[in-house]
Amino acid sequence: DQQVKQNSPSLSVQEGRISILNCDYTNSMFDYFLWYKKYPAEGPTFLISISSIKDKNEDGRFTVFLNKSAKHLSLHIVPSQPGDSAVYFCAAKPDTGNQFYFGTGTSLTVIP
Amino acid sequence: GAGVSQSPSNKVTEKGKDVELRCDPISGHTALYWYRQSLGQGLEFLIYFQGNSAPDKSGLPSDRFSAERTGGSVSTLTIQRTQQEDSAVYLCASSLSRGGVGQETQYFGPGTRLLVL
């Protein structure tokens, strides 16, 4: 039962343009959301997070948007750079319990 | 080092053998997680340790899987009588104790790539 879904396994974007990565979830009890970035042969690294009391969080080129009514999360990268090419995972956590739920990832390729 | 470390980085074993995977969390992090990522799948939660509390084992797929955390620091994940479907990347992560938003951010190790022949 995949409670966090990333329906696009891959995405290609030209350098300098916007990358938009999407994530949907089914559990209305999720109250904390994160994006991780993963390079080959490395563990995921934390990128940005948002709590359910907000609908937007921005950190430099990265902005996460949360639409609670739609149970939808997105990560915007502007402008995209070749070094952003990686697999991006979204993750969510309910307000109780210890388990983080991860999506299957979206592989982003930024074309120079 | 300052990050989470895992060993071995790669492990090839024969079906039916036992394996032990090790995780050294970031110093001062009281929470420790084990995940596995099978080919084409997302990260699958296995087990969670928090301080001296009883671990949350709800993600362990079978009784062949067990984990320990000694002294609140190093953790070992043991898979007994390995099967081919156990082949995956096993990731460990640590975080500060749950005390508020942001403290739950997990820091991952590089993973152990397990191949069961």
The confidence score (pLDDT) of residue A97 equals: 73
Distance in Å, alpha carbon of A41 to nearest chain B alpha carbon? 7
pLDDT reading at B100 higher than 90: no
Reported as a pLDDT band with limits 50, 70 and 90, residue A87 is: very high
Exposure on the CB side of residue A75, measured as CA atoms within 13 A: 30
The confidence score (pLDDT) of residue B102 equals: 57
pLDDT reading at B99 higher than 70: no
Give the separation between CA A98 and CA B16, rounded to whole angstroms: 31
* Percent of chain A scoring above 90 in pLDDT: 87
| Average pLDDT of chain A to the nearest whole number | 94
pLDDT reading at B70 higher than 90: no
- Decide if A81 touches B, using CB distance below 8 A: no
CB-CB neighbors (< 8 A) of A42 in chain B: 110-111
Residue B65 Rama label (left phi>0; alpha psi -120 to 50; beta): beta
**Minimum CA–CA partner of B55 in chain A:** A98
CB-CB neighbors (< 8 A) of A97 in chain B: 56
* Percent of chain B scoring above 90 in pLDDT: 68
The confidence score (pLDDT) of residue B52 equals: 82
The confidence score (pLDDT) of residue B41 equals: 82
Nearest to A50 by CA among A93, A106, A3, A99: A93
Reported as a pLDDT band with limits 50, 70 and 90, residue A2 is: confident
What single-letter amino acid sits at A86? A
CB-CB neighbors (< 8 A) of B4 in chain A: 43
CA B47 to mean position of chain CA atoms: 7
CB A32 within 8 A of CB A92: yes
**Interchain contact, A104 vs B41, CB within 8 Å:** yes
The confidence score (pLDDT) of residue B71 equals: 80
- Decide if B93 touches A, using CB distance below 8 A: yes
pLDDT reading at A24 higher than 90: yes
Distance in Å, alpha carbon of B106 to nearest chain A alpha carbon? 7
- Decide if A37 touches B, using CB distance below 8 A: no
The confidence score (pLDDT) of residue B64 equals: 97
Q: Which of A11-20, A97-106, B95-104 has the lowest mean pLDDT?
A: B95-104
- Decide if A96 touches B, using CB distance below 8 A: no
DSSP string, B58-113: TT--STTEEEEEGGGS-EEEEE-S--GGG-EEEEEEEE--SSSTTTT--EE---EE
- Decide if B56 touches A, using CB distance below 8 A: yes
The confidence score (pLDDT) of residue B101 equals: 56
Give the separation between CA A9 and CA B25, rounded to whole angstroms: 30
Nearest to B111 by CA among B93, B99, B97, B95: B93
**Interchain contact, B42 vs A2, CB within 8 Å:** yes
**Interchain contact, B42 vs A43, CB within 8 Å:** no
| Average pLDDT of chain B to the nearest whole number | 90
pLDDT single digits (tens) B1-52: 579 999 999 999 999 999 999 999 999 888 999 999 998 788 899 999 988 8
